[in-house]
Amino acid sequence: MRRRMFLALGSIAALLLLSSIISLVEYIRMNSYVSEKIAKNINCLNQSQKLADMASEFNLEMLSVVMSQDLTKMGKFSPEGFTLQCDTLRHSLASPKAAPATDKVMVSFESFLRASLKLEEVFQSDSVSTEAWFFEELQPKYVQLRKDINSLNTVIHDELLANSEGFDQSFYRGIMPGMVAVGAGLLLVFLLMYFINVLYINPLYKISDGIDNYRSSGKNFSYDFEGDDQIANINTGVTELTEENAELKRRISVLRHNSLQSRNSLHKDEVSE
């Protein structure tokens, strides 16, 4: 009986422990994976903001030159840095929309850069107004570049949102084994209660009822069930004891009857004498 109880309870404990370990490992793995992707998305947003800041700074420098008519105010701008930043973004993003959006930014930047290279030529020309050239030819290309950068930001935000939703899904995936284990554990507990009731509690009640019937009415104790455990041993012992007790009572009754007959016979003999 003790072994069966240990096996039943041990199996439930082992199942719950195993499922808890699986849930923990799965959650840690998914949390690390999704957190890394979210960190990449945030880094991409920062890089995209750097692109916008670089383009804005370059555009403001050109506007300052145009308004002051002084080419010496033109700072040094590195197109290679802008291009390298775009390439980094292209390889960091996993969304299928990321590559076309990054390409559009590169195309717009190259168009804006080619137009900006005409600044010195326009500045030295007497037939072209630098202000008109800036606002009519260069500025629309800058606006298009900022528009494409904003579109790229939208793609990055969408990917970040998808990864955030993936984090929620990974959380539920991580706790699912634990929930399944709890359900299975409850089922095993109910099954254990059922078998304890069938194999141990009901037999004990029937043995107790049989003993009460034997005491109250002298009815023979007879209860048979399958098994070779301690309950069966108790039942066998109680059966033997009640049978021996009934036999002992029968013998005592016979002895009392014989003794009474002997007394009656002696009494008759004395009376007859």
Helix (H) or strand (E) segment spanning residue 134: none
Give the pLDDT confidence score for residue 147 in this predicted structure: 92
- Tell me which residue of 143, 153, 155, 160 sits closest to 37, measured CA to CA: 160
The two tokens of residue 101 are 């959006």
Stretches in the chain below the pLDDT threshold 70:
1-6, 8-9, 31, 73, 75, 166-175, 177-178, 181, 225-227, 264, 266-273
Euclidean distance between CA atoms 225 and 223, whole angstroms = 7
Residues in the chain, overall count: 273
Distances in Å between the Cα of 253 and the Cα atoms of 152, 188, 217 are 107, 54, 16
Euclidean distance between CA atoms 247 and 252, whole angstroms = 9
Whole-prediction pTM: 0.55
Q: How many CB atoms lie within 10 A of CB 268?
A: 10
Give the pLDDT confidence score for residue 93 in this predicted structure: 77
Give the pLDDT confidence score for residue 144 in this predicted structure: 92
Distances in Å between the Cα of 164 and the Cα atoms of 35, 169, 177, 182 are 9, 9, 21, 27
Dihedral over alpha carbons 187, 190, 192, 198 (to 10 degrees): -140
Distances in Å between the Cα of 165 and the Cα atoms of 36, 38, 44, 94, 185 are 14, 11, 18, 15, 30
Q: Are 46 and 200 in contact (CB under 8 A)?
A: no
Helix (H) or strand (E) segment spanning residue 145: helix 139-196
Summarize pLDDT for 201-246 with one digit per residue, the tens.
788 888 888 888 877 777 777 777 666 777 777 777 878 787 787 7
Give the pLDDT confidence score for residue 172 in this predicted structure: 67
